[in-house]
Structure 1
Amino acid sequence: MDSILALMQDPAAWIALVTLIVMEVVLGIDNLIFISILTNKLPVEQRERARRIGIGLALVMRLALLGTVAWIVKLTTPVFELFGHGFSWKDVILIAGGLFLVWKATKEIHHNVDPVDHKEDMVGRTVATNFGAAIGQILLLDLVFSVDSIITAVGMTPHLPIMVVAVVFAVAVMLLAATPLANFIEKNPTIVMLALAFLLMIGTTLIAEGMGFHVPKGYIYAAMAFSALVELLNMFSRRARQKDKGTTHH
């Protein structure tokens, strides 16, 4: 208790907390996009529940990993060598998660661009996937993103209370943003393709990181933000044209 009170009175600890919260929220975006796309394939009445379960599992995993910080640190120690490069368990987890993400994003993009194979009804609603399968896939990616998130936290501060507060805050933001983000993606079909492209890029980045090629996260998120801004401008442009057409017809 005394150590927590000492931390609360330390300005450096508050700066570390704010910085870590920002980092954890940004790292949670990848997790959130995947959960949004996957749960949108479920029947409407199951989506909210699936999102809550998915994000709840993300919180449980992150807190469980924080409870094993000493073991987490060991995940970065090389356990075998291949082609002259040492691979740790963290690398293996990132590569496996990256490959799964690339496969999943590629499959979803194929379904979106190939009308013959894509089983959609006339309104364009995606055929529902199995609830258990969706939760299983969310659980798998939660593990990958959680490992990445906690290793980042461990690298930024040695204080466990700061890590716990930052992780809980970031997951709370994910919980609040999940449904609005998923609804926004569903209402704007072109956003789906953009989100899938983001997942493809994130998957490729995870594989590169696992192979030992460091890709600065700032570049990735700057590219995502720029693409999202361009798509937002396109949406405004389309709506303006539709309004103009409606006015002309009247």
Structure 2
Amino acid sequence: MDYLIALAGDPAAWIALVTLVVMEVVLGIDNLIFISILTNKLPEEQRSRARRIGIGGALVLRLGLLGTVAIIVQLTEPIFSAFGHGFSWRDLILIAGGLFLVWKATKEIHHSVDPDPGPDMFGGKVTMTAAAAIGQILLLDLVFSIDSIITAVGMTDHVPIMVIAVLVAVGVMLLAADPLGNFIHANPTVVMLALGFLLLIGTTLIADGFGAHVPKGYIYAAMAFSALVEVLNIFSRRARQRRASVTASTPPAAH
């Protein structure tokens, strides 16, 4: 208790907390986009529950990983070298997660643009169950959680600050999950944009795993600009639809 009181009175701790909360919320966007894309393939009555379970799994994973911070930090130690780069367990996890994201986004883009909804391009029938969706969400949660915790450790040594930041970030994800998922579902063009984001994120994870670090600020700035352009397109389409509706309801002038 004395430790927590002393921490609360430390201005540096508050600055670290605010910075970490913002960082965790921004990093959670990646996860949230994937969750929205995946759960929108489920029947409508199962989507909200699957999102809550997936995000709840992210919370459990991150809190559990915080309890093993000493082990997580060691994941950055190189275990072998190849192509002039020392690969750590973190690198391998990021590469695997990036490859999974690229594979998943490519597969979903294929399904979106293929006029014939036949068999999956990778074989098998196109199906998605709640269990399969939650399993894939938890798999990617693990990748994002490890990266998030390692980043948090680099910003502060105080575990209580990390715990608070994770709780706030997951709370924001829970609040935003349904509105974001419904918005993506209601705007088909946004689906393709979100899949493009997943391709970008997956490629960035792979590059990071190979030691080519891309500043996340550039990635999120590009995503924000693309999202802004798409919002303007949505407003433009709605304006054209309103004009068309008014024109259709206006009786022709008598001659």
Range of TM-score over shorter length? over 0.9
2:230 aligned partner: 231
2:247 aligned partner: 248
1:43 aligned partner: 43
Shift of 1:248: 0.9
Distance 2:213 2:100 in 1: 20
Provide, for residues 153-207 of structure 1, a one-character-per-residue CA deviation record: whole Å limited to 9, x for no partner.
0000000000000000000000000000000000000000000000000000000
Shift of 1:249: 1.1
- Of the two, which has the highest radius of gyration? 2
The answer for unaligned runs of 5 or more in structure 1 is 120-126
Question: Contact 1:59–1:167 at 8 Å: present in 2 too?
Answer: yes
Matching of residue 111 in structure 1 with residue 111 in structure 2: yes
Structure 2 residue identity aligned to 1:130: T
Instruction: Give secondary structure in 1 for the equivalent of 2:154.
Output: helix
Provide, for residues 18-46 of structure 1, a one-character-per-residue CA deviation record: whole Å limited to 9, x for no partner.
00000000000000000011001111111
Normalising to structure 2: TM-score of the pair? Answer: 0.94
Structure 1 vs Structure 2 CA RMSD: 1.0
Normalising to structure 1: TM-score of the pair? Answer: 0.95
The answer for unaligned runs of 5 or more in structure 2 is 120-125, 250-255
Shift of 1:11: 0.9
Structure 1 residue identity aligned to 2:145: S
Identity %: 77
Shift of 1:117: 3.2
Shift of 1:132: 1.2
Question: Contact 1:43–1:128 at 8 Å: present in 2 too?
Answer: no
Question: Contact 1:73–1:151 at 8 Å: present in 2 too?
Answer: yes
- The residue correspondences of 1:1-250 to structure 2 (distance < 5 A) are 1-117=1-117, 129-250=128-249
Shift of 1:109: 0.3
Dislocated runs of 4+, deviation >6 Å: none
Instruction: Give secondary structure in 2 for the equivalent of 1:156.
Output: coil
Distance 1:43 1:128 in 2: 11
Instruction: Give secondary structure in 2 for the equivalent of 1:214.
Output: coil
1:124 aligned partner: none
2:123 aligned partner: none
Structure 2 residue identity aligned to 1:2: D
2:253 aligned partner: none
Instruction: Give secondary structure in 1 for the equivalent of 2:86.
Output: strand
Distance 2:22 2:85 in 1: 32
Distance 1:118 1:54 in 2: 28
Shift of 1:49: 0.8
